[in-house]
């Protein structure tokens, strides 16, 4: 997988100056990074307390449900918020007198917890189902937002333990489950992100050990990665303080994005540095050439990802809009860390850092990987049929999209058939479908009576009940007789809003179902804006970098096809795992990352191919480019896919879905699109790939000793 390094011009570029600076200032660079880590670590640790997973996080600012949530927050500012736990008891044959007594004892047992379990309120009265088979009572968990998740977990655990005794005394057949928002939070929370970090770091260490085959070398990229992660989390904490919405999903993605891309950049730099050590007398000279050849491609890659992420600022969803800057600062931290701290560490240890396979100038070189060159030759023999075959395979994978189902039902965030999920199904089976998730209508007091009248006359409304006032507004709970999350419930919501707009124009309809409906509407709008925006921005950036139009179009189209195929395969995977659906806003998360990261690897390949084609022509340039970049880029893809795959270990389904889809997409892009489809497409087009620039093939006499510019991207991939 090695190449013979080319002869380079005298060191005059920024990369050469950076290498010379690092030679005499390596201790200073290490000291600066150490000071930064010490200073930024407390700010990094504070990020967990600044995440925003409230209803407003995924909503557009002007949505009615957003305004309801804001009014509720303003009315309870500084006071605890409430999550509800619902205890449902069911006997399929009908509740007996003994069962009713057990229900009473279960409620009393929960009431006894008040004062003993923090944040737990007195339970409401028992409600019996009309079919006589179920009973339900609710209990509130009141806590400050920052403590709500822990409070829900402790309270639900205590409630489940308390009701188990009375139910057991009633004999077999009486089933009890605890569901509701508090139970869903307890069963399906984001989980411990320290576990995610440990899993991801373990993956990185294993891959680095396998690639470098050194008990020492893997430590240096890992140090740079950890330092970059601390810096990225600290900057993200600053973004949260500045008003950007940072959710738990964003922080989880931040962790794996930094670990994956940081390791990728390190693989590219160390790979080229090792090659140059075999041809240069000193590590400083080798590092100068390695940086000169790697920095343009890494910087171009980072710029592409950053620009793609910043497109998210055009989103209506606050969470999606906040993710853009979060991902951008993460990539920036990675770039700075791996082109300053990592080279300084490598220069500090010199050649012994590669022990036991120490590269020395006396060693011979291989002209790239024979395996990857063989793959290239196979593709080159019949590029058109190979390209068609790859497209057909990707198209077949796209058929998996037929199994895709969007669902913003809160139970969809919980893996498996946990108590909260089963309990929710029991409630829906025996009570009005919207019993535990009513709509909340806020209105001026003089419109309260009209709101109640209009809601009562709306089809598919099961019950209307006045609730406690919220600030200056009257509140009305509206229970639906159809499932509140889904097309039936959303149709009722739209009907109710239309009626209220005409007869009680001051009324605002919010509550859980309204939040999810407005979130889905915002996601639909964001998809129509962001998908073409990201594609156009990425296309423009690549066109500027490679100074061509045809090749960038090929790269973007193949990456878009790869996204669709990956999404189809991921949909089949989610269906097999029993996930009930995907939240409406998540496909955009997956799209943006797969497009940006997929193009990322293609930049490394296409840049190197163009560089080689200057003297060898497109055919031989493709074979050489693939042979010298294949191994390291594939290793980088495996690292990135593995780190994102670690997200699937978290109990929170949306995060697991994002992680698994991106992992599938990166592997698909690494092993099929970049390896087969892109080479086949460019070989089929020939020298027209570089239109409208001067044909690379006609530039065979060009001086290859000139320093690389940002357009000569692929040098770093070798």
pLDDT tens-digit series, residues 183-208: 988 887 666 667 777 888 888 888 88
Contact (Cβ atoms closer than 8 angstroms) between residue 315 and residue 519 = no
**Segment 401-409 mean pLDDT:** 86
pLDDT category of residue 26 using cuts at 50, 70 and 90: confident
- What is the full DSSP assignment across 657-692? HHHHHHHHHHHHIIIIIIIIIHHHHHHHHGGGGGTT
pLDDT category of residue 376 using cuts at 50, 70 and 90: confident
Integer distance in angstroms from the first to the last C-alpha of the chain?
Answer: 8
* Cβ neighbour number for residue 161 with a 10 Å cutoff: 11
pLDDT category of residue 709 using cuts at 50, 70 and 90: very low
**Segment 485-508 mean pLDDT:** 93
Contact (Cβ atoms closer than 8 angstroms) between residue 256 and residue 646 = yes
Dist. CA 17–CA 371, nearest whole Å = 36
Which tens digits make up the pLDDT trace of 319-347?
889 999 999 999 999 999 999 999 999 99
**Segment 235-262 mean pLDDT:** 90
Quote the percentage of the chain above a pLDDT of 70: 92
- Tell whether the model's pLDDT for residue 704 goes beyond 60: no
Bridge partners of residue 475, in order along the sequence: 442, 467
Quote the percentage of the chain above a pLDDT of 90: 42
Which tens digits make up the pLDDT trace of 133-159?
999 999 999 988 778 888 999 999 999
Whole-number pLDDT of residue 15: 64
Whole-number pLDDT of residue 497: 95
The pTM of the full predicted model, rounded to 2 decimals, is 0.82
- Tell whether the model's pLDDT for residue 367 goes beyond 60: no
Bridge partners of residue 179, in order along the sequence: 86
Strands 81-90 and 134-143, by their bridges, are antiparallel
- Tell whether the model's pLDDT for residue 708 goes beyond 50: no
Structural domains of the chain, ranges and CATH numbers in brackets: 14-53+191-408+519-717 (no CATH), 77-188 (3.30.70.360)
Q: Which residue has the higher pLDDT, 490 or 616?
A: 490
**Segment 254-275 mean pLDDT:** 87
Cβ neighbors of 396 (< 8 A, separation 6 or more) are: none
């Amino acid at each position: 997988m090695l190449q013979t390094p080319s002869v380079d011009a005298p060191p005059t570029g920024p990369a050469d100056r950076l290498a010379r600076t690092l030679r005499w200032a390596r201790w200073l660079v290490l000291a600066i990074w150490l000071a930064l880590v010490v200073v930024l670590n407390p700010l990094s640790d504070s990020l967990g307390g600044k995440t925003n997973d409230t209803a407003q996080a995924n909503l557009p600012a002007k949505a009615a449900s957003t305004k309801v949530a804001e009014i509720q927050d303003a009315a309870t500012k500084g006071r605890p918020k409430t999550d509800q736990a619902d205890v449902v008891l069911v006997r399929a044959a009908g509740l007996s007198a003994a069962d009713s007594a057990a229900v009473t004892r279960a409620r009393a047992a929960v009431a006894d917890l008040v004062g003993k379990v923090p944040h737990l309120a007195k339970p409401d009265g028992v409600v019996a189902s009309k079919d006589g088979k179920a009973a339900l009572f609710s209990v509130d968990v009141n806590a400050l937002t920052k403590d709500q998740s822990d409070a829900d977990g402790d309270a639900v655990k205590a409630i489940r333990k308390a009701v188990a005794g009375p139910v057991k005394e009633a004999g077999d057949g009486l089933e009890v489950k605890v569901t509701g928002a508090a139970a869903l939070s307890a069963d399906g929370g984001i989980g411990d992100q320290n576990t995610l970090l440990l899993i991801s770091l373990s993956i990185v260490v294993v891959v680095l050990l396998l690639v470098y085959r050194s008990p020492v070398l893997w430590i240096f990229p890992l140090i740079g990665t950890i330092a970059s992660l601390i810096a990225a989390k600290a900057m993200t904490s600053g973004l949260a303080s500045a008003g950007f919405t940072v959710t738990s999903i964003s922080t989880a993605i931040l962790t794996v994005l930094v670990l994956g891309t940081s390791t990728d950049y390190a693989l590219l730099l160390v790979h080229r540095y090792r090659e140059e050590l075999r041809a240069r007398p000193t590590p400083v000279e080798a590092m100068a050439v390695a940086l000169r050849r790697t920095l343009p491609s890494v910087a171009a890659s980072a710029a592409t990802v950053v620009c793609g992420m910043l497109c998210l600022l055009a989103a209506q969803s606050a969470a999606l809009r906040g993710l853009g800057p979060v991902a951008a600062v993460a990539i920036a931290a990675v770039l700075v860390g791996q082109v300053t701290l990592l080279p300084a560490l490598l220069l500090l240890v010199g050649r012994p850092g590669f022990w036991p396979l120490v590269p020395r100038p006396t060693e011979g070189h291989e002209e790239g990987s024979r395996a990857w060159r063989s793959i290239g030759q196979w593709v080159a023999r019949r590029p058109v049929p190979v390209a068609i075959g790859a497209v057909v395979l990707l198209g077949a994978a796209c058929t998996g999209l037929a199994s895709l189902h969007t669902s913003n039902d809160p139970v969809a965030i919980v893996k498996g058939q946990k108590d909260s999920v089963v309990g929710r199904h029991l409630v829906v089976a025996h009570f009005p479908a919207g019993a535990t998730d009513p709509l909340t209508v806020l209105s001026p007091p003089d419109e309260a009576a009209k709101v109640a009248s209009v809601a009562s006359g709306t089809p598919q409304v099961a019950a209307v009940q006045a609730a406690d006032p919220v600030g200056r507004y009257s509140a009305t709970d509206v229970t639906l007789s159809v499932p509140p999350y889904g097309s039936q419930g959303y149709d009722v919501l739209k009907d109710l809003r239309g009626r209220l707009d005409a007869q009680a124009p001051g009324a605002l309809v919010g509550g859980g179902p309204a939040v999810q409906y407005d979130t889905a509407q915002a996601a639909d709008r964001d998809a129509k804006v962001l998908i073409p925006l990201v594609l156009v921005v990425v296309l423009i950036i690549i066109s500027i970098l490679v100074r061509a139009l045809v090749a960038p179009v090929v790269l973007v189209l193949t990456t878009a096809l790869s996204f669709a195929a990956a999404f189809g395969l991921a949909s089949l995977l989610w269906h097999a795992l029993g996930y009930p659906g995907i939240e409406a806003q998540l496909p955009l998360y997956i799209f943006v990352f797969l497009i940006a990261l997929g193009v990322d690897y293609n930049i490394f390949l296409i840049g190197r191919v163009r560089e080689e084609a200057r003297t060898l022509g497109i055919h031989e340039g493709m074979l050489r480019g693939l042979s010298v970049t294949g191994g390291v880029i594939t290793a980088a893809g495996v690292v990135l896919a593995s780190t994102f795959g670690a997200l699937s270990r978290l109990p929170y389904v949306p995060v697991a879905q994002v992680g698994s889809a991106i992992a599938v997409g990166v592997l698909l892009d690494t092993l099929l699109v970049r390896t087969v489809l892109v080479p086949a497409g460019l070989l089929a087009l020939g020298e027209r790939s570089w239109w409208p620039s001067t044909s690379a093939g006609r530039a065979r006499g060009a001086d290859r000793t000139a320093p690389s510019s940002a357009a000569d991207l692929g040098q770093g991939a070798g």
